[in-house]
Structure 1
Amino acid sequence: MTSSQGSAGRWSDLDRPPLNAAALRHALVLPDGLWTSLDVVESTGSTNSDLAARAAELPEGAVLVAEEQLHGRGRLDRTWTAPARSGLFVSVLLKPDVPVHRWGWLTLLTGVAAASGLSKAAGVDLSLKWPNDLLVKIAGEERKTGGILAERAGEDGIVVGIGINVSLRAEELPVPAAGSLALAGAVSTDRDTLLRAVLRSLEQWYGDWVRADGDPDASGLLVAYGTACATLGRRVRADLPGERMLEGVAVGIDGDGRLVVETEGGGTEAVAAGDIVHLRAA
């Protein structure tokens, strides 16, 4: 971790004020709430790795936020980098008391919660690309502005990491397909407001899901994800494990959270893991 006192140059961007950790804890860490602690660090390698390393000693609901993440990770070991204080880099520790075979829904649940919370707080329409990307539209083009990574932590825990590009400018985007809430016309890029909205939405969706014993249908998650998912109805290419490729139309999400693809021959195949490329509308 670094000291902001010794790095004035890095912290001199007045458009990117630091998070107010005390105010966030006051608003989110409540006696009967899900969130049990909230820590903000100036810089770290990966909030997911840090939280996972302490999962055994922490209760459910621990939240770790970084102003800067140096070695953030996405699916398939991709890196996630962004300037300091330009986004939300947050991980939460969950210990769901639901059947383990339903834990795969946590990535999709977090996507629904983040998209819902950010849409209200930032005034930007967000959609979901299966399984874990958050999309915005910039000049009519879909751009990735966020991602989610869920990882097992011990026998009973899952660390869910959320990375959101908030104030990135065009010249700061890591790749042409990336975007940010600011570039999508957000009415607010106040990260305190956005983080509160995301965590409150996640608390509500997670609570409903746990109370439904992880059932995506009974909790309303299946319908909500299908409504927000930009992948459905699209022609897609799935790059699958073992260097196999599948092409067809994404027609649904099954009860296990898998993407159902209708192939050229009229059959369907459920994709549990893979890299999905949107080709065009069906």
Structure 2
Amino acid sequence: MTPHHASGPSRWSDLDRPPLNATALRRGLLHEGGLWTSVDVVQRTGSTNSDLVARAGSGAAASGRAEEGAVLVAEEQTAGRGRLDRRWTAPPRSGLFFSVLLRPAEVPLERWGWLPLLTGVAVATGLSRAAGVDTALKWPNDLLVTVGGEERKAGGILAERAGEDGVVVGVGLNVTLRADELPVPQAGSLALADAVSTDRDTLLRSVLRSLETWYGRWRSAGGDPVTSTLQETYAAGCATLGRQVRAELPGDRALVGEAVAIDGDGRLVIATAEGAREAVGAGDIVHLRPV
């Protein structure tokens, strides 16, 4: 017998996509002396990043100001943003859409630019463990999976300043999206990449534990990308290195060449045909197909 819901689909109507279990997530992630201090799951919101930035700022009510280690997860994001304010939408409970608040007080400000790259390493590490999927990183903050022998974007990372002393890092990841649900044909998901598990509770716990480990290591090293091994680990998992790329730079400038290194500031070093090397700190990178 199929229950009829006059008010629209119930939260149990798509059994392939069960809701996250907030109680179990808290039990698995919150512990004395750990990084994570709260885990909140909301049914839907515009953007978890915007919500957490608002809660983290100095303007937030003193009692309501979010602590470092706050985690906000949405079952559905209606105004999720990628870089350059691109929209990111997906069906409810089809992915992981979450933001975390970090306050790396002991790390010099000029090293905070490593945080989105650190998050990429942590997400890729957590997913390889829990989903059995090889996730590659496209500089600076795209998560790539292989679908039918082709690299496809399955997720992205967005870091934003929050008040004087905080950074909110948001992650959007397609988990169970089917081919007919992809926002663009070049997108991918863990399911399409043949993940051994698409259980979002397991995946989220694994990713957040990995992030806690990497953030702790980086913070202990004062943000040093060499001592913390972040620079070499990122480079090892970065699909952009060794490729011919086109960098679309601010001011309508484009740079074409081979991506040869990630420098000490997390910038992408591009070697041009003329023999020049330029470090790119912001911009859109297009992977050019090998000729």
1:94 to 102, 115, 123: 102
CA distance in 1, matches of 2:175, 2:7: 25
Deviation sequence 1:47-101 (CA, Å, 0-9, x none): 0000000003111000000000000000011010000000000000000120000
CA distance in 2, matches of 1:250, 1:11: 47
- Report the alpha carbon displacement of residue 146 of structure 1 after superposing the two structures with TM: 0.6
CA distance in 2, matches of 1:249, 1:106: 24
CA contact (8 A) 1:63 1:91 kept: yes
**Which amino acid in structure 2 is aligned with residue 114 of structure 1?**
V
The answer to whether structure 1 residue 60 and structure 2 residue 61 are counterparts is: no
The answer to whether structure 1 residue 277 and structure 2 residue 286 are counterparts is: yes
1:80 equivalent in structure 2 = 88
The answer to whether structure 1 residue 150 and structure 2 residue 159 are counterparts is: yes
Deviation sequence 1:17-73 (CA, Å, 0-9, x none): 000000000110111100000000000000000000000311100000000000000
- Report the alpha carbon displacement of residue 264 of structure 1 after superposing the two structures with TM: 1.2
1:112 equivalent in structure 2 = 121
**Which amino acid in structure 2 is aligned with residue 39 of structure 1?**
D
Deviates more, 1:238-247 or 1:5-14: 5-14
Identity over aligned residues, as a percent? 72
Deviation sequence 1:226-249 (CA, Å, 0-9, x none): 000000000000000000000000
CA contact (8 A) 1:55 1:153 kept: yes
Uncovered stretches (5+) of structure 2, i.e. residues with no partner:
58-64
**Which structure: larger Rg?**
2
1:35 equivalent in structure 2 = 36
CA distance in 2, matches of 1:198, 1:273: 26
**Which amino acid in structure 2 is aligned with residue 63 of structure 1?**
V
CA contact (8 A) 1:10 1:84 kept: no
CA distance in 2, matches of 1:7, 1:108: 40
CA distance in 2, matches of 1:170, 1:69: 20
**Which amino acid in structure 1 is aligned with residue 40 of structure 2?**
D
**Which amino acid in structure 2 is aligned with residue 85 of structure 1?**
R
CA contact (8 A) 2:98 2:172 kept: yes
CA contact (8 A) 1:36 1:61 kept: yes
C-alpha RMSD over aligned residues: 1.4
CA distance in 1, matches of 2:104, 2:67: 12
SS at match of 1:68: strand
**Which amino acid in structure 2 is aligned with residue 71 of structure 1?**
A
SS at match of 2:100: strand
Uncovered stretches (5+) of structure 1, i.e. residues with no partner:
none
SS at match of 1:150: strand
Q: 1:167 to 1:260 in 2, by over 3 A?
A: same
- State the aligned residue count: 279
SS at match of 1:103: helix
Deviation sequence 1:114-146 (CA, Å, 0-9, x none): 001011100111100000000000010000001
The answer to whether structure 1 residue 237 and structure 2 residue 238 are counterparts is: no
2:235 to 226, 229, 254: 226
CA distance in 1, matches of 2:263, 2:7: 52
CA distance in 2, matches of 1:186, 1:281: 28
**Which amino acid in structure 1 is aligned with residue 249 of structure 2?**
L
Deviation sequence 1:130-180 (CA, Å, 0-9, x none): 000000000100000010000000000000000000000000000011000
Deviation sequence 1:190-226 (CA, Å, 0-9, x none): 0000000000000000000000000000001001000
- Report the alpha carbon displacement of residue 280 of structure 1 after superposing the two structures with TM: 2.9
1:257 to 258, 266, 270: 266
**Which amino acid in structure 2 is aligned with residue 250 of structure 1?**
A
2:16 equivalent in structure 1 = 15
